[in-house]
Structure 1
Amino acid sequence: MKSRIVAAAVLGGLVALTASAAPALAAAPRTFTTTVSGTCDTTAGEWVVDWAITNNSDTNALTILTSSTPSDHALTSVPAPTAGATAHAIQRIPGDSTGAHLQYIAVWTDFPGGSYQSTTDFTAPSVCTQA
């Protein structure tokens, strides 16, 4: 009988410990934010597209590029900003392009990890011409 009471007390302590740890894991947001801006480089007649990629988590993640357009000026990779940081991917596209598209997946490196998909578009406000 005494061993059952001790076992129940130990099991009850483990359940309480597990229950108290769950809110801490859920508190960290598992998202990325991607913003985009474009500047007309009149010297080259190209749009310079700045993709600002922010890791909103308190954990590092890997980034995997899944799509970038226009295809003839596509990015070949995207940076993996550390926890809470922002990194930039710069893309140059022709001045007569209507815009660009970026899609990537972020995969967190801790357990239980998880992933997040981001899709963002840049729409050129006009034609960027060479001066």
Structure 2
Amino acid sequence: MENALEFLLEQAKERENQAALALGQARSELDGYYQQLEQIEKYRLDYCHQLVDRGQNGLNASQYAHLNRFLTTLDETLSKQKQAESHFKDQVANCEQNWFDSRKNRRSYEWLIEKKQNEKQRAQNQREQKQMDEFSTLQFNRHRFN
């Protein structure tokens, strides 16, 4: 029974470690997402400043249309990126829940093993106490009759 519990505990520890790694990876991907989003927003802002500067120097309709199309493409990219945010946040939340569950599972096995060890120790203590009592009774009876 103890070997089986130890085996289950080791497997639970491995699942918890894997869950922790997955959580770290999900958080890293979310951070990467935010960095990429920030870069696109910065690029868009820089591009808008360039558009204003060029506009002050004069743009023909074709140049303006080209620059405006590019800005529209950036806006669409930003919109798609922002829609992806929920995917990354959900992934982190799912990994956190998996990690919490696996940690709880590991702790349950540890508690059960500790409980079994305590019961075993208690039984050993009771056996020893019984032997001591029997020995004391024998010693007492020997002295009484001698």
TM over 0.5: no
Q: With structure 2 as the length reference, what TM-score do the two structures score?
A: 0.32
Where relative contact order (Cα < 8 A, 6+ residues apart) is larger, the structure is 2
Please identify the structure whose Cα radius of gyration is greater: 2
Greater share of helix residues, 1 or 2? Answer: 2
Q: With structure 1 as the length reference, what TM-score do the two structures score?
A: 0.34
